[in-house]
Amino acid sequence: MDKQAIKALIEAHPARTALDQAFYTDADIYERDVSQIYLKSWLYAGHISEIVNIGDWFLFELAGESVIIVRSSEDQVSALLNVCRHRGSRICLEKKGCARRLICRYHAWTYDLEGHLRGAAHMGEDFDKSGISLKKIHTEVLDGMIYVNFAEQPAPFEPVREGLTECLRPYRLENARVAHRQTYAIEANWKLSVENYTECYHCAPSHPEYSRGHSLAKPEARSAALMDEVMSRAQACGLSDKSVSRIYLDAEGFGADYAYERYPMWRGHVTGSEDGQPVAPLMGDIKGYDGGTTDFQVGPVSFALAYCDYVVIYRFTPVSLHQSECDISWLVNADAEAGKDYDKDRLVWLWDVTTAADKRIIEYNAEGVKSRYYEPGPLSKMEDYTWKYMSWYLQAIKP
Ligand code: FES
Ligand SMILES: [Fe+2]
């Protein structure tokens, strides 16, 4: 579909209506999604606890790109493009590792941990290695969470830091550790995965486990009294009760969105677990359970749920036009020991069953939107945020 046709389709899009089929099936639109959104936004790559020692690295992959996230010799976090400067081979082939040098297996060009070329055999006497380095993309670390941005001049990260630092402080995420990380492959265009995350209209029918404890599944039943009760306890527990939200469309801030919101869980539930009871020690400086939970967001496709005892970080990425990934990290205090302070299966249970269900419903959705008979339908009141997200998306890719 050419640019004019994409523009016309966007301009004709009716308000509060699901997206047209082309947004899920057209290869040119997909290319725009990647170039206009993914290659310009701050994206969650991982946590510093995954690269504790110098030379530790892991890969962050999306839409055919591969980035080596490595702790450099200068003890900094670097994000190096996994594309050899000789003839372009991938250099790191496993998902993670630890190395003093990054060696391309094709012809053995060797790079240091800053990405500078240090060794290249048979290149002749006058070959100058000094100007050759692996390409680097921007990184920022917010309380131990590593965010990357492919853009040459990304939107400044400072506003995100300023907006979230105070709210996130009590969790002390820089002192946390990834207790479990899992990637769920979803056979669906990435937007179907994100759209599903943006609404809780599907929670009651699709997530009985989640709906037992989380009031988002039934907001009309959430009383002002419950809200007040939890918010007053939040402060006593050292948690922030303020809500912040910045979603950008202007070029300056694009891709550096952030949001933080705390809200009550149903009475009797203090965290996201099978029985609503704690599954790990209180995080950071938090002094007790207030009966609430927090949603926060950095950039357009990286979300998190922060309970008093653990945090789950979600990131959605495209793999190809009809494939996406949902990557989830479960964080606990760094000194919490598996088997003693927490049971990994109990910790992971809720968001694993919930994501397995999400994968199923998203994949059925993907089959349906490809049908000859698919026609976009109207959105419900519980899909306000989905419409906000869709409107943002349509503006973001508009030629
Ligand atoms: S492609 Fe990497 S050394 Fe040749
Ligand atoms: Fe869901």
pLDDT of residue 59: 98
Please work out whether the CB of residue 239 comes within 6 Å of at least one atom of ligand 1. Answer: no
Report the separation in Å between the CA atom of 146 and the middle of ligand 1, taken as the mean of its atom positions: 28
DSSP 8-state class, residue 61: E
Is pLDDT above 80 for 216? yes
Report the separation in Å between the CA atom of 323 and the middle of ligand 2, taken as the mean of its atom positions: 18
Task: Give the separation between CA 218 and CA 210, rounded to whole angstroms.
Answer: 11
Please work out whether the CB of residue 87 comes within 6 Å of at least one atom of ligand 1. Answer: yes
**Residue 258 and residue 164 in contact, taking contact as beta carbons nearer than 8 Å:** yes
Give the mean pLDDT of the chain.
96
Task: Give the separation between CA 154 and CA 98, rounded to whole angstroms.
Answer: 29
Query: Could you report the per-residue pLDDT of 80-101, keeping only the tens digit for each?
Result: 999 999 999 999 999 999 999 9
The share of the chain scoring above pLDDT 70, in percent, equals 100
Q: How confident is the model at residue 363 (pLDDT cuts 50, 70, 90)?
A: very high
Query: Could you report the per-residue pLDDT of 134-178, keeping only the tens digit for each?
Result: 999 999 999 999 999 999 999 999 999 999 999 999 999 999 999
DSSP 8-state class, residue 268: T
Query: Could you report the per-residue pLDDT of 10-35, keeping only the tens digit for each?
Result: 999 999 999 999 999 999 999 999 99
Average pLDDT rounded to a whole number, residues 364-373 = 98
Average pLDDT rounded to a whole number, residues 248-272 = 91
pLDDT of residue 241: 87
Tokens 């949001």 label which residue?
Answer: 259
Average pLDDT rounded to a whole number, residues 344-360 = 98
Is pLDDT above 90 for 251? no
pLDDT of residue 7: 98
Strands 65-71 and 117-119: unpaired
Q: For residue 385, which of 203, 167, 221 has the smallest C-alpha distance?
A: 203
Please work out whether the CB of residue 109 comes within 6 Å of at least one atom of ligand 1. Answer: yes
The share of the chain scoring above pLDDT 90, in percent, equals 95
Is pLDDT above 90 for 252? no
Is pLDDT above 80 for 217? yes
Task: Show the tokens assigned to 395.
Answer: 């503006």
pLDDT of residue 60: 98
In degrees to the nearest 10, what's the CA dihedral of 106, 109, 112, 116? -120
Is pLDDT above 90 for 328? yes
Please work out whether the CB of residue 387 comes within 6 Å of at least one atom of ligand 1. Answer: no
pLDDT of residue 221: 87
Task: Give the separation between CA 181 and CA 62, rounded to whole angstroms.
Answer: 17
Task: Give the separation between CA 99 and CA 35, rounded to whole angstroms.
Answer: 32
Average pLDDT rounded to a whole number, residues 214-242 = 91
Ligand 1 atom closest to residue 89's alpha carbon, by position in its atom list? 1
Please work out whether the CB of residue 351 comes within 6 Å of at least one atom of ligand 1. Answer: no
pLDDT of residue 191: 98
Task: Give the separation between CA 176 and CA 324, rounded to whole angstroms.
Answer: 27
Please work out whether the CB of residue 107 comes within 6 Å of at least one atom of ligand 1. Answer: yes
Please work out whether the CB of residue 118 comes within 6 Å of at least one atom of ligand 1. Answer: no
Task: Tell me which residue has its CA closest to atom 4 in ligand 1.
Answer: 107
Of 68, 83, 87, best ligand 1 pocket probe by most atoms within 8 Å of the beta carbon? 87
Report the separation in Å between the CA atom of 359 and the middle of ligand 2, taken as the mean of its atom positions: 8
Ligand 1 atom closest to residue 108's alpha carbon, by position in its atom list? 3
Q: Which amino acid is at 53?
A: N
Ligand 1 atom closest to residue 120's alpha carbon, by position in its atom list? 3
